[in-house]
A = this chain, B = another copy of it.
Amino acid sequence: MPRPAPWRLLPASYPTTETMQTRFQDLDPMGHLNNVAFAALFENARVRFNQRMGSMNRERGFRGVVAQSTINYIAEGSYPEDVEIATGIGAIGNRSWEILAAMFQSGKIIATCDTVIVMTSSPGEPLPTAFRHRLEELRVREG
């Protein structure tokens, strides 16, 4: 199991950050944020990130779906404190790209998430050029 690289644990590596509220629903029987709650929070950060980028899953845009998502659980999360989710773009392929994220709580890293999105419309065609440029502008800063 490869652990996240050190730069993945630093807020400064990501171009955007968003504060997100935790909910009582997120707690598990141990009194910590549940593993699936991490997944829901990362998904929410990803959807909001995508909405700011436009183009995908919109009229006259193209369609993309999550093909793979990996969460590394680094420390326990608590309620009712907010979390900060930092997000940026990783590898960009011909018809796919990575959304890399990290979750912090009270200034401490608690998880990372690597998600691969794959374009499902326009078979055989590469990602639209304008969209690829937006992805490049939002790349993470590796170490």
A36 B27 Cβ-Cβ under 8 A: no
| Residues on B with beta carbons closer than 8 Å to the beta carbon of A39 | 35-36, 39
Quick check: is A20 within 8 A (CB to CB) of the other chain? yes
A1 B72 Cβ-Cβ under 8 A: no
Interface residues on chain A, number (Cβ under 8 Å) = 34
| Residues on B with beta carbons closer than 8 Å to the beta carbon of A51 | 80
A70: which of B23, B29, B35, B70 is its contact (CB, 8 Å)?
B70
Distance in angstroms between the alpha carbons of A1 and B44 in the assembled complex:
22
| Residues on B with beta carbons closer than 8 Å to the beta carbon of A21 | 20-21
Nearest Cβ in chain B — how far from A109, in angstroms? 14
Distance in angstroms between the alpha carbons of A47 and B30 in the assembled complex:
14
A-side residues, CB < 8 A to B, are: 1, 20-21, 23-25, 27-31, 34-36, 39-41, 43-44, 47-48, 51, 65-73, 80, 96, 116
